[in-house]
Amino acid sequence: MCVIEDKIKSVIIRSDLDYTEIAKRCGVERSAVGKWAKTGKISLQNFAKLCSVFNLDPNEILNLRKNASSVSEVAKLTNRINKLDDLDPRISIVNMLLSLDIRY
């Protein structure tokens, strides 16, 4: 399992919120939160929601270097992911990823 998956699991497991409350705040089923806690695997859209619920900086979980460019790109990515609710997520995610220009 990769470090990112371990961090996602840790955030959920160490939370003061139960899975039902996390699910409610993320707009998903309780079983989805259980799956995230068990496997650490989560979609980009739900990752953005989880970060929002716990007021987390996605940079910390994704281990992105903190520079103006990457912080700006992650903020744009998070905003775009949050707007996907009304669109077909598969198309929107592909288009969004193709439009990113992150340099490390």
Nearest Cα to Cα of residue 2 among 74, 61, 76:
61
User: Is 49 domain-assigned?
Assistant: yes
Query: What average pLDDT does the segment 87-93 reach?
Result: 63
pLDDT at position 48 over 80: yes
Range of the domain at 42: 3-99
Nearest Cα to Cα of residue 81 among 26, 6, 15, 10:
26
User: Is 79 domain-assigned?
Assistant: yes
User: Is 41 domain-assigned?
Assistant: yes
User: Is 104 domain-assigned?
Assistant: no
User: Is 9 domain-assigned?
Assistant: yes
Provide the 8-state DSSP code for 63: T
pTM: 0.58
User: Is 84 domain-assigned?
Assistant: yes
User: Is 59 domain-assigned?
Assistant: yes
Q: What is the CATH number of the domain that holds 67?
A: 1.10.260
User: Is 32 domain-assigned?
Assistant: yes
pLDDT at position 81 over 90: no
Q: How many domains does the chain have?
A: 1
Query: What average pLDDT does the segment 50-78 reach?
Result: 73
Cα separation, 19 vs 25, whole angstroms:
10
